[in-house]
Structure 1
Amino acid sequence: MERPAFLIVNEIPPVCEIFLKILKQSECSFQTVETLSDALQLVKEKGFDVFVCIVRKDVVLTPEAEKTLEESGFLFWVWLGPLKFDSPRFDIRWPLELCRDEGRLEAIVKNFCRLAERLKRQKEMASLLLHDLRTPLQNLNSYVELLSQNIFGELNKGQQKIISNILLQSELAEELLQEITDIFRFKRRMFELPKERVNLTLLLNQVIRSLWGMADRKNIKLQTAIQQNLPEVQINVTAIKRVLFNLIMNAIKFTPQNGTIRIQARLLNKTPRSVLVQVIDSGPGIPDEHIPRIFNKYFRLEQSREQFKGSGLGLYIARTLIEAHQGRISAYNNREGGSTFYFTLPIE
């Protein structure tokens, strides 16, 4: 694996010299520029892993600049400068006052190098694993398609319906693999989703029907309360299907045997108008202190680590896709037990 590459905007040479000394010792590659404009030009020509700003005063990040930097695939962004600068784009913010202690600064930069190396290794391993997953999934699709064509004998209506659901799920899994691959590569273009006007009631019912078998294995009842005559929404169908599958499958996973899951949808008339979709389970609920973090990448509750397999990416992907629709997604615990996950979609 190649060592991490740092792109550094250097406005404070004494601090930068210490930074570069540690990078050399860690065998990390780097390139320094004097201005943000120079950095924006350079990332169009070369690839880097970490973006660092060592500055005396705030910088102005225009939407165009943010987009250029975001699409460059940095593992993380570092800000060494005035702490009053409060851009959410920077993952690590460190005050200049603490940079005057050379020993402390050296320790910080060494940690940056270790973090960059670990994240880069994870990113490359994830790309390889995702690539290797495609072959068995494609083979599975081929076998199911042969069954659907009655190659091995006539299927009855019930069998045809199950085969259709398997094909639907397989196609969704292939698309999801591509989505996750793009997320690991930190590509923003995936969130520029083509949209169309869709009957949300039909979409909800389609997803719920396809998950009936999974719920039935635990004798869980899937109940619906969908407001009549919901207006059409402008959405990317594949993306919203992924969100629904993720939330409902999570609810099935955490709801005990003989439990109930309720899927609701209704119109919110407050300005701007939107549709509210809720998935209400009868599971154990979520510790209150973890609710703000459950949509973070790789976050998993301790009990879910012990009981269920998973990467901790599902809710992160759901949040990303809903936010790409200018919607909102969140969760809360119910008074009577269990939890409610909900999202909104604007009506355009």
Structure 2
Amino acid sequence: RSPLATAQGLLGLILAEAHSPEALTEHVTKLQRILTEQLELVNELLEFARVETGHITLELTEVDLCEILANVVDTLTLSAYNKQIRLLCTFPEEGLYLQGDAAKLQRIFWNLLSNAIKFTPEGGTVEVEARLEPNSTLPIVVRISDTGIGISSEQLHYLFKPFSASRPGTHGERGTGLGLFIVKRFVDLHGGEITVRSTPGQGTTVLLSFPGTPPQQ
């Protein structure tokens, strides 16, 4: 109830301070952040319920992972800008193709990239790289790195357990503790792998690898 009460209070301030553009901008920005967090809370709870009950299936088509990553980056560019975070991307021009569920792959990368932004302080850097390692059994590799607050070795041990990794971001951003659990399950469903390396106070690197298909002609 607390976030909704805060949102209600902000709406009252907006009505009361309609004469002040500066105050309106500040209140609307806060309201947008609260509503976005609540929408993500609902989405993650719904995904968690589907995963736990086994009601998850993949709608497989040939997808370009670079295109999906680019779309996710576009949706989170404003979040990075608001924290003065440099968002650096490196994707091969020819694309990276695999048989996958576009919506679930988007959820994987959205969760990971939004986490990187959430736990990186102002002025930091988040990097997204996609590359092909043709001699690997899982040749499509995605790396998401940040210069954020990092994760302790104890937290790493429980990182993919539901509700165990919830903690506020550097601007007090909230989460459900379900995002990484959902990521792991969706990566597994695609026959992929995910590993996380982190140093507290220095940052975190997430590596994902997926099976690929030949590029489109």
> Alpha-carbon deviation of 1:234?
0.9
Conservation of the 8 A alpha-carbon contact between 1:267 and 1:273: no
> Residue 342 of structure 1 aligns to which amino acid in structure 2?
L
Which of 42, 54, 65 does residue 188 from structure 1 map onto? Answer: 54
> Residue 53 of structure 2 aligns to which amino acid in structure 1?
K
2:75 aligned with 1:210, yes or no?
A: yes
How do 1:59-138 and structure 2 match up within 5 A? Answer: none
> Alpha-carbon deviation of 1:176?
5.0
> Alpha-carbon deviation of 1:334?
5.8
2:127 aligned with 1:262, yes or no?
A: yes
Counterpart of 1:320 in structure 2 is 185
Counterpart of 2:91 in structure 1 is 226
**Structure 1 gaps, min length 5:** 1-128, 130-168
Conservation of the 8 A alpha-carbon contact between 1:240 and 1:321: yes
Which of 179, 192, 195 does residue 47 from structure 2 map onto? Answer: 179
State the identity as a percent: 27
Partners of 2:165 and 2:44 lie apart in 1 by 20
Residues 176-233 of structure 1, C-alpha deviations (whole Å, 9 max, x = no match): 55423323xx22131x211110111111111101111111111111101123323311
Counterpart of 1:243 in structure 2 is 108
> Alpha-carbon deviation of 1:292?
2.5
**What TM-score do the two structures reach when normalised by structure 2?**
0.72
Alignment partner of 1:189: what SS? coil
CA RMSD of aligned residues (A): 2.9
Alignment partner of 1:188: what SS? coil
> Residue 212 of structure 1 aligns to which amino acid in structure 2?
T
> Residue 218 of structure 1 aligns to which amino acid in structure 2?
K
Counterpart of 1:298 in structure 2 is 163
Conservation of the 8 A alpha-carbon contact between 2:140 and 2:210: yes
Counterpart of 1:99 in structure 2 is none
Counterpart of 1:339 in structure 2 is 204
> Residue 290 of structure 1 aligns to which amino acid in structure 2?
Q
> Alpha-carbon deviation of 1:302?
6.2
Which of 175, 183, 188 does residue 310 from structure 1 map onto? Answer: 175
> Alpha-carbon deviation of 1:342?
2.0
> Residue 189 of structure 1 aligns to which amino acid in structure 2?
H
Counterpart of 1:198 in structure 2 is 63
Residues 222-254 of structure 1, C-alpha deviations (whole Å, 9 max, x = no match): 101123323311110110101111001111111
**Structure 2 gaps, min length 5:** 2-35
Partners of 1:242 and 1:335 lie apart in 2 by 26
With over 3 angstroms needed to count, the CA separation of the structure-2 counterparts of 1:231 and 1:300, relative to structure 1, is closer
Partners of 2:174 and 2:147 lie apart in 1 by 21
> Alpha-carbon deviation of 1:303?
6.7
Partners of 1:238 and 1:294 lie apart in 2 by 23
Alignment partner of 2:155: what SS? helix
Residues 274-320 of structure 1, C-alpha deviations (whole Å, 9 max, x = no match): 2111110011211123213211111126676x944222101000000
> Alpha-carbon deviation of 1:339?
0.7
Conservation of the 8 A alpha-carbon contact between 2:197 and 2:204: yes
Alignment partner of 1:266: what SS? strand
Conservation of the 8 A alpha-carbon contact between 2:168 and 2:175: no
> Residue 280 of structure 1 aligns to which amino acid in structure 2?
S
* Structure with more relative contact order (C-alpha pairs < 8 Å, separation 6 or more): 2
